[in-house]
Structure 1
């Protein structure tokens, strides 16, 4: 089976931020402002709590199309414009009524909470939509691991597939000690560096080699060293598949009794 290469369209970016994220951040500010402006004629006839609920819907919409940061910005923006346009005294960043103060505080708190939930739901949707090509790749690798007489054959197969799957410029496998602290692609598809989690969706790959460790029966046997290619962000689903393939290599190495190494 030939390596599966995911489409990697160029994605315009502003100051290093993908265009979609830039638009989502803009919507996080402009969306609540526009809706609050449309609600002005109703502010004397509709309870402030009901107006706030409409703004919560805007927060959910922004978080669903963007990311957590955009959703949080929309929640903050909603609270600000609710205060300015929909509470007395109108047109001032002052709230006279205690009920309106409570409503504004709840709008901010609920907006932040639902933005996180909406972003997480969008992320889980990406994970659960299985791609037939990815499933075929996992199945083929599992079959190879079962019939291969040498773990090296599985390693070479996965190395080639990772190159296409992740759009890499290169990929090599290292047996032995896990030296250094390069960025690491985990089984959960997340990338971490010495400074913490790396936001792949917003920043793309780190511009250095990334390790993908192979684990079998709870032991480390080596790692793939991934040299990122230029282009767009690699989807979370593809990164999860990469983690699964590395796990199959670890299982193959465990079956042949390769020497395990100590995690650093």
Structure 2
């Protein structure tokens, strides 16, 4: 469901629910009505749009006041208990929306990381099956581009060292011996980042990572996955001729 539709649901459903509950005022407690509206807010917030969840919470509070508190059909409340219930409805609704959105984002993040690890496993299988080294390098370049969210990757054979920024085996990124804060500042955009591949302590080549057109902020786990992918090429270079 797109954002506009979710916003519309967050705006329209609370007054509809409150209008129906108004028909049952004598047999339906306001506290239970508030709990039902929280369910509506959670359903809207589960879409992943914060603005829709907040809108549903505010809409629920307004129409709870209008339909279900004395004096009815007016935006005023005489009962202190109803005032507290209306305020708590909005506050809890916003809080629940934030929790629902956080949970959805964590789930999406876990799914992405699982996909990255699947890429490592697939690449490892390609090495064990003895495919072309160049095909493996091309596969790893494509995987690195996706995992790190960068513009592109190329592979250069040989053990020459340069002063370029380095993506190290522990997932840190250094420049001139200084560890960069990638999550905050992103990968360097003014130079290629080297990801060296080693076997038996010897550098066999390096991937040159380009992140020039936008700020890429891969987290530590993504960078460690990138190192694991690159290591597959080191194994293949030892096992197979070019």
- Shorter-chain TM-score tier: 0.5 to 0.7
Shift of residue 249, structure 1, vs aligned partner = 6.2
**Could you tell me which residue of structure 2 aligns to residue 58 of structure 1?**
40
Q: 2:220, 2:213 → 1: CA distance?
A: 17
Shift of residue 102, structure 1, vs aligned partner = 0.4
Q: Does 1:86 align with 2:68?
A: yes
- Cα RMSD between the aligned structures? 4.9
Superposed CA deviations along residues 155-186 of structure 1, whole A, max 9, x for unmatched, are: 865332245x47x89514697556xxxxxxxx
**Could you tell me which residue of structure 2 aligns to residue 36 of structure 1?**
18
Shift of residue 40, structure 1, vs aligned partner = 1.3
Q: Does 1:74 align with 2:56?
A: yes
Shift of residue 241, structure 1, vs aligned partner = 8.3
Structure 2 vs 1, CA of residues 173 and 126 (structure 1 numbering), >3 Å: closer, same or farther?
same
Shift of residue 59, structure 1, vs aligned partner = 0.5
Structure 2 vs 1, CA of residues 129 and 250 (structure 1 numbering), >3 Å: closer, same or farther?
closer
Q: 1:90, 1:242 → 2: CA distance?
A: 56
Q: Which runs of 5+ in 1 are unaligned?
A: 1-18, 146-152, 179-190, 197-207, 229-238, 253-264
Q: Which runs of 5+ in 2 are unaligned?
A: 128-134, 156-161, 166-181, 198-206, 233-242
User: 94, 105, 110: which one pairs with 2:87?
Assistant: 105
Shift of residue 247, structure 1, vs aligned partner = 4.2
Structure 2 vs 1, CA of residues 40 and 244 (structure 1 numbering), >3 Å: closer, same or farther?
farther
Q: 1:212, 1:111 → 2: CA distance?
A: 45
Structure 2 vs 1, CA of residues 118 and 139 (structure 1 numbering), >3 Å: closer, same or farther?
same
Q: How many residue pairs end up in the alignment?
A: 195
Q: 1:173, 1:213 → 2: CA distance?
A: 10
Structure 2 vs 1, CA of residues 172 and 68 (structure 1 numbering), >3 Å: closer, same or farther?
same
Q: Is the contact between residue 120 and residue 225 of structure 2 (CA under 8 Å) also seen in structure 1?
A: yes
Relative to the length of structure 1, the TM-score reads 0.54
Q: Does 1:119 align with 2:105?
A: no
Q: 2:41, 2:17 → 1: CA distance?
A: 11
Superposed CA deviations along residues 37-86 of structure 1, whole A, max 9, x for unmatched, are: 22110124322111111100000111112323321221111111111111
Structure 2 vs 1, CA of residues 245 and 113 (structure 1 numbering), >3 Å: closer, same or farther?
same
Structure with greater contact order relative to length (CA < 8 Å, sep ≥ 6): 1
**Could you tell me which residue of structure 2 aligns to residue 45 of structure 1?**
27
Superposed CA deviations along residues 118-151 of structure 1, whole A, max 9, x for unmatched, are: 2222233334457986543122456899xxxxxx
Q: 2:139, 2:74 → 1: CA distance?
A: 65
